[in-house]
Structure 1
Amino acid sequence: MGIKGLQGFVTRVCPDACRTVDLKEVAEKHRIDHPDIPPVIVVDAMSCVRHWYTPESWVCGGQWREYLANLEAFIKAFTAAGITLVFYFDGVVEEKKRDEWIKRRWQNYKEIAALFQFVKTHRKQPGRGMFVLPSALPTFTRYALKSLGQKTVCTLKEADFEVAAYGLQHNCIGILGQDSDYLIYNTSPYFSIEKLCLDKLVTVMYCREALCRALGLSLTHLPLFACLLGNDVVPESLLEGFWSKCLATCPPRNKSYNRRTNVLLAVANYISRVPCSYSSLKHLEEMLPLGSDKTLLLRGMESYLLPGQHSPWIPPTAEHLKTFSAVEETAMCQDKEIFQLAKEQHIQSENYVVFNILCNGVIECSNSLEDDRDTEIPGQALIFRPVRQHVYSVLLEPGKGGACPSVKEWFVYFGNPLQQPEVIQPVQPPLPGGTPNLKTLWFAKGPEVEKQRYSTFLACFHLQDLMEELQALEAPVAGFCCLLAYLMLQVHSLSLEDLNAFVALVLCLRGKSASQLERLQLMEVDSRAVHLGAVFIRGLTTLLMANSACGFPFRMDDLMPWKVFDGKLFQEKYQRSHRSCSVEELLEGNESLYTPFQNLKSLICKACMAKKRTIQSRPRGRGFVAGAQQREFNPRFQQAHRSSFVPPYHNQMRGFLWRSPQPQGREHRMGYPDRRRRFHLPPRSPR
């Protein structure tokens, strides 16, 4: 979070602390001074994702291939300068910061509500001033960076602490981020991602020594300065009276300064007169209205103390750093082999949230771009809760009495006040013979175990009966179909038009490059499609979770959004489908996609038929036409529109979506209006 107003204060009041630096020159100096140690910058990725996401479209669910290309360009710029990057991501929300997390979620909730109101009113994306990160962007950024060969770390504590510690311990040339806490830690130089000019590798370095000179403080004072201004540990609400006293004894230096600037200067003036000792800290604790928890100030100070560092404010005997072994002793999973593997995979960004469950039985999910006024689509937290309950059952062994321990969920959705976690009970997935134990799923080898992993994964989505058909598909398409079938079963308001849009999306996306997707122009943005896009992306994170728990029947890379989703392309397919366009038009005139289109739809409908779910046609109108010209008609696409779609499934294992060619079955036509135009097969798009 950082200290409110400190970054702006440094820019306005302490210009000497803002120094333009050429990172290539910094790296070269490091190579001269340390010829055996390559120059490394440690990156606070969570404070960078907003700056990395530069695609023009952001509201539709994410331009994932464009984003991946941006990350690749970012890495190449540093690699060309001989600079190694190490990326850190928040792996936990510490309970001491839960109140702040909730506060931010409510703020995000209001921003998203305003966003949907704008989209409904204007049928377009708002300006960058209302920018909201695409759902799950930080999660998938981890895997994107790993896929690009980067060292990516998921933390066991708050990321800013581990970033600062890594920078100090590995003699990094700097920390790249946008968090004023890096002015407080006594660690590597702090470089601004916001001010970074990637082409030149020039940015601003915020100098903590210059800040100290401007404030009349020493580096030792900075943690106390941060705590007395309010941070993630010491709430600002407890400090108002103290600030007033400081302001009364320190007249404003400049009448043009706002109150926050004057508070910063007055607090610094107060601290400069306080002796650096533990007794001084105790005196402050007694003076401040800290309520029942008089250790707040001490804990706040300790949060800035990196491994190997000491502070005159903190007694050396204080057991301020909770060791991770103590956490391990109280973990929900007491099998050391399983716990250790989960921990290693967590740190290396190889699994998703299973370590948090095994460690302390707590899981959280931030806001998604969901329309809380759309009563037909439940919150994604509720849609995917049955899957999570099965995953909890896979991960957590029954205790005494045969009951699995419950899991605490902090999930943001309409109707959840976030006053306390929801306590969720695990539910066994519907597998004949029960669920394989975790050691089998994670450590055993052989084809039979691989089959168990896959069937357990599918059982979490109640799709184990489709195992043979899904295994015949390419892995990304199999994951896509698993998710889409589950959504069609769980959300009964989803229609034939929605199904058509999703299937056309995954087929047409395959041949499109990032630059082609960037050039795609939308005349309108549909708010329901925005909502569905966010739900789908959150569904992909649910696939990651189940995959991690079941021993990785899929490669994680096969479950990434850039393999199966693009926000603008989904908007186009959704709006075309809901104005009842022809299959030809939906598939962009590519005749080779027709059979895969039928096959994938038939597969989804087989799953729905087995659960007695009929997919109804519910076109929502409001015509939409993209810039491309309409193509001529091919009689092969002709079919009258039907009110519902529940065809028999035909296992046609052919086309590029399947692992190997199989005998072709009977074709099945889809419900779309007759468009009596001649069909021309367009050239294939470059891949």
Structure 2
Amino acid sequence: MGVKGLQYFMDCCCPEVCVTVNLRDMAEQHVARSPDTAPCSDSTDPTLVVDGMACLRHWYSCKNWVCGGQWREYMDVLQSWVEAFNSAGIRLVFFFDGVVEEQKRKEWVKRRRRVNGEISKIFRYIKAHEEQPGRELFCLPSGLATFTCFALRSFGQEVFCSVQEADYEVASYARQHGSMGILGQDSDFIIYDRKKSPVPHHGAPQGQMVLAVSQFVSSLWGREEEEPGHILQSMTLSAFHQELLERGICAYLLPGQEGLHRNEVSARPPASAFEKYVSPEILKACREKHVAAEGFMVYGVVCEGVIECSNTLEDEEDTELLPQALVYKPCRQHIYGLLLGHDGSAVDPPAIREWFVYPGNPLKEPDVVHPVSLPCGRPSLDSLWFGTGSNVSALRLTSFLTIFDCQEFSELYGTVDASLLAALCLVTYIVLQVQTVSQEDVDAYLSQVVCLSVKSPQDIRQIKLPFLSSRAVQLGSLYVRGLSHLLGANCASGCPLPNAALMPWHSFDGVLFHSKYLLAHSGTDKTVLLDSDSSCLSLFLHLREKLLETCRKRGRVLQSRPRHSATGQSHKTTTGPRGRERPTGWPSGGGERWKSRGEMTGAPRHGGGWRERAEESREQSDHDNRERLWERGGHRGGEMRGSQHFHHFYPECHGEGPQSTSHRPKQSRGRSYRSRGRYRLAPRWSEPPAPGT
């Protein structure tokens, strides 16, 4: 996470070390001297090791970000960026943070709290102005780092997720493979392997100290005449500060460097701590998938016993919608149960420590979440991951669907596109977990995923939103976070669906969803909602009926709750910010109008926001942790009172396998974007590789 003030010091005291370079020329020079300087290089091409996390803000240059992400446009930007380097003959190797080391946890929490404050400002701005704030309040779309790994792999790039501090792995790889350089923005890279000390500095004492430390680091290579110990003594440090300096320097020693040995400061439990719950082959596969950026969630659960989730665009003042961490908690519990459940044993599976950022969580300690077995029992994880045959394929699909309480959808497998099946599972799960989700919300979700498949990137860029809804912003982020849970469930189940089908650029665009949300809540006719496309309309109605049928079986009845009306309809309008007309049914001032109509089904009846409620929930017993946190209390609008325990929803499992709001602008659709036939058939992606490889 860098050394505070070091970059500023370099800029002020050593400006000569910061230079502008031409990467194409630099690559040619590197190739010319590579036989002498990089004998261990595994490629003849000059290589840049890219710190992916440092580049995310540069890569996501799309205009609209608050609605959940413009994923197809982002893919185009990312691909163009990669091709620019490839055209210059530069090979790229990407590294992303795969873990948060415990010694960095306090700093991680500090940053997450700071971002929470910025998110609060974003929602206050949206509710006051009904538009996206400026770049000064920019926040990356949810899941951007996770899905960028898969995007880069789809472009044929080498991508790695770290198992310790990512900066250390970046520097280690660059040194071991004779790379041309590191592309990143972190002062750690100034310290790693700083072979030559700058010229003597006779300025301020602080500058002299930094240069003395630099000389000491250089001496650890064994290329200096002076011994490391002599340099330490010449710095006239106290015993305490000398030891502190030694430990700090050791943290930056790379493999193969001489002198002091790098301390292993990781507090993570060894993988062997879970060996009684999974086989050695599973442990090995978890690590390999994680390092290769092919998996999600399983490494943290099986090998670490801890997972984390960064900030999400959620309005802490809106108590109607549950935070995403709580919405998907039952899903995660079943994933944990699938991974760590132990059939025929009296030993309970270990609890998982969750560091999830959400309104009401002070992040003082992790949430302790217990695994919950699937209703039909825990299938053998080795069979799911390494088995073959039609029975195993059916078991993988059943396990995946059961995690989301959608096992009936197995009949759709192979008859609709895999991305549609995944989206239907996700929307159905959201409806079952969040009682305030309305029929209009479902129509928005399903219509956008159906219409996205027939829209070109140019079509999407032409969408103009009349105003923004803070609630739609939250629903968009909730959906994208759900895609990452689909990915985790798919990995845990042995990949019954191709991971590519779960990527957001196949089922979600923030601006398109927002436009569908505004149309659906204004009472727009379904034909208009589906862009007057009969094929899309037919598919939409088919998927919606499957969702409604599944919900009815579980006692969940969707209600119509339009949030505003279209111009000219029965609701009269009032003047909004900056003289705009705003429908009276539209929430203003933080959504107080809608909150005053009653709390969501199962929410606590007392006052207070999510912060107070979360504090109370953290004091519940372990048994209560297994219960859905929103399973208490009243109802409204004719909905079912209360709700069942999550695992009661499952029947007996079987083993069988599988813009304007007034008119639509004329769309120009290429042939490649038009589906054939009534429903899109068969997944477009090839079968996934054998599990465990």
- Residue 34 of structure 1 aligns to a residue in which SS? helix
Show the 5 A alignment for 1:191-340. Answer: 209=196, 212-213=197-198, 216=201, 265=207, 267-268=209-210, 271=213, 277-278=228-229, 280=232, 284=237, 286-288=239-241, 297-311=245-259, 314=260, 318=261, 320-321=263-264, 327-331=270-274, 335-340=279-284
Query: Distance in 2 between the 1:31 and 1:473 partners?
Result: 50
How has the CA–CA distance of structure 1 residues 25 and 146 changed in structure 2, closer, same or farther, with 3 Å as cutoff?
same
Where does residue 30 of structure 2 map in the other structure?
30
Counterpart amino acid of residue 415 in structure 1? G
Whether the aligned pair in 1 keeps the contact of 2:102 and 2:267 (CA below 8 Å) is: no
- Residue 488 of structure 1 aligns to a residue in which SS? helix
Give the Å deviation of 1:44: 0.4
Counterpart amino acid of residue 490 in structure 1? Q
Query: Distance in 2 between the 1:571 and 1:214 partners?
Result: 57
Where does residue 475 of structure 1 map in the other structure?
418
Structure 2 unaligned residues grouped into runs of 5+ = 36-42, 217-225, 569-636, 641-661, 674-693
Whether the aligned pair in 1 keeps the contact of 2:64 and 2:70 (CA below 8 Å) is: yes
Query: Distance in 1 between the 2:567 and 2:119 partners?
Result: 24
Counterpart amino acid of residue 346 in structure 1? H
Where does residue 670 of structure 1 map in the other structure?
none
Counterpart amino acid of residue 62 in structure 1? G
- Residue 608 of structure 1 aligns to a residue in which SS? helix
The reply to whether residue 554 of structure 1 matches residue 497 of structure 2 is yes
Where does residue 299 of structure 2 map in the other structure?
355
Query: Distance in 2 between the 1:539 and 1:285 partners?
Result: 53
- Residue 21 of structure 1 aligns to a residue in which SS? coil
Query: Distance in 1 between the 2:9 and 2:565 partners?
Result: 49
The reply to whether residue 8 of structure 1 matches residue 8 of structure 2 is yes
Where does residue 534 of structure 2 map in the other structure?
591
Give the Å deviation of 1:488: 0.6
The reply to whether residue 40 of structure 1 matches residue 25 of structure 2 is no
- Residue 198 of structure 2 aligns to a residue in which SS? helix
Tell me the alpha carbon deviations over residues 325-371 of structure 1, each in whole angstroms, 9 at most, x when there is no partner.
99333445552111111111111111102011111211111110111
Counterpart amino acid of residue 17 in structure 1? V
- Residue 62 of structure 1 aligns to a residue in which SS? coil
Query: Distance in 2 between the 1:263 and 1:469 partners?
Result: 71
How has the CA–CA distance of structure 1 residues 580 and 402 changed in structure 2, closer, same or farther, with 3 Å as cutoff?
same
Give the Å deviation of 1:30: 1.8
The reply to whether residue 402 of structure 1 matches residue 339 of structure 2 is no
Match of 1:149 among 156, 161, 168: 156
Whether the aligned pair in 2 keeps the contact of 1:6 and 1:180 (CA below 8 Å) is: yes
Query: Distance in 2 between the 1:263 and 1:608 partners?
Result: 70
Counterpart amino acid of residue 256 in structure 2? G
Where does residue 446 of structure 2 map in the other structure?
503
Query: Distance in 1 between the 2:95 and 2:274 partners?
Result: 24
Match of 2:84 among 55, 74, 77: 77
Where does residue 442 of structure 1 map in the other structure?
385
Query: Distance in 2 between the 1:393 and 1:612 partners?
Result: 25
The reply to whether residue 379 of structure 1 matches residue 323 of structure 2 is yes
- Residue 346 of structure 2 aligns to a residue in which SS? helix
How has the CA–CA distance of structure 1 residues 263 and 125 changed in structure 2, closer, same or farther, with 3 Å as cutoff?
farther
Where does residue 419 of structure 1 map in the other structure?
364
How has the CA–CA distance of structure 1 residues 63 and 215 changed in structure 2, closer, same or farther, with 3 Å as cutoff?
farther
Counterpart amino acid of residue 618 in structure 1? R
Tell me the alpha carbon deviations over residues 463-498 of structure 1, each in whole angstroms, 9 at most, x when there is no partner.
113321355321000000000000011011010110
How has the CA–CA distance of structure 1 residues 263 and 5 changed in structure 2, closer, same or farther, with 3 Å as cutoff?
farther
Structure 1 unaligned residues grouped into runs of 5+ = 188-207, 217-249, 254-261, 289-293, 626-642, 647-674
How has the CA–CA distance of structure 1 residues 491 and 589 changed in structure 2, closer, same or farther, with 3 Å as cutoff?
same
- Residue 113 of structure 1 aligns to a residue in which SS? helix
Query: Distance in 2 between the 1:578 and 1:273 partners?
Result: 66
- Residue 50 of structure 2 aligns to a residue in which SS? strand
Where does residue 310 of structure 2 map in the other structure?
366
Give the Å deviation of 1:2: 1.1
Query: Distance in 1 between the 2:268 and 2:106 partners?
Result: 26
Query: Distance in 1 between the 2:639 and 2:355 partners?
Result: 37
How has the CA–CA distance of structure 1 residues 299 and 545 changed in structure 2, closer, same or farther, with 3 Å as cutoff?
farther
Query: Distance in 1 between the 2:468 and 2:12 partners?
Result: 40
Whether the aligned pair in 1 keeps the contact of 2:556 and 2:639 (CA below 8 Å) is: no
Where does residue 129 of structure 1 map in the other structure?
136
Counterpart amino acid of residue 251 in structure 2? S
- Residue 87 of structure 1 aligns to a residue in which SS? strand
Where does residue 20 of structure 2 map in the other structure?
20
Whether the aligned pair in 1 keeps the contact of 2:456 and 2:669 (CA below 8 Å) is: no
Where does residue 577 of structure 2 map in the other structure?
none
The reply to whether residue 575 of structure 1 matches residue 541 of structure 2 is no
- Residue 42 of structure 1 aligns to a residue in which SS? strand
Tell me the alpha carbon deviations over residues 576-603 of structure 1, each in whole angstroms, 9 at most, x when there is no partner.
1111111122112222211111111111
Taking every aligned residue pair, what percent have the same amino acid on both sides?
A: 41
Whether the aligned pair in 2 keeps the contact of 1:69 and 1:514 (CA below 8 Å) is: no
Query: Distance in 2 between the 1:390 and 1:624 partners?
Result: 45
Whether the aligned pair in 2 keeps the contact of 1:430 and 1:462 (CA below 8 Å) is: no
- Residue 19 of structure 1 aligns to a residue in which SS? coil
Where does residue 182 of structure 2 map in the other structure?
175
Counterpart amino acid of residue 402 in structure 2? A
Give the Å deviation of 1:29: 1.3
Give the Å deviation of 1:116: 0.7
Query: Distance in 2 between the 1:549 and 1:596 partners?
Result: 29
Counterpart amino acid of residue 412 in structure 1? V
Where does residue 245 of structure 1 map in the other structure?
none
- Residue 21 of structure 2 aligns to a residue in which SS? strand
Whether the aligned pair in 2 keeps the contact of 1:590 and 1:682 (CA below 8 Å) is: no
Whether the aligned pair in 1 keeps the contact of 2:354 and 2:367 (CA below 8 Å) is: yes
Give the Å deviation of 1:514: 2.4
Q: TM-score normalised to the size of structure 1?
A: 0.77
How has the CA–CA distance of structure 1 residues 555 and 273 changed in structure 2, closer, same or farther, with 3 Å as cutoff?
closer
Higher relative contact order (CA closer than 8 Å, sequence separation 6+)? 2
Where does residue 117 of structure 2 map in the other structure?
110
Query: Distance in 1 between the 2:54 and 2:246 partners?
Result: 26
Whether the aligned pair in 1 keeps the contact of 2:149 and 2:159 (CA below 8 Å) is: yes
Match of 2:103 among 96, 101, 104: 96
Counterpart amino acid of residue 394 in structure 1? L
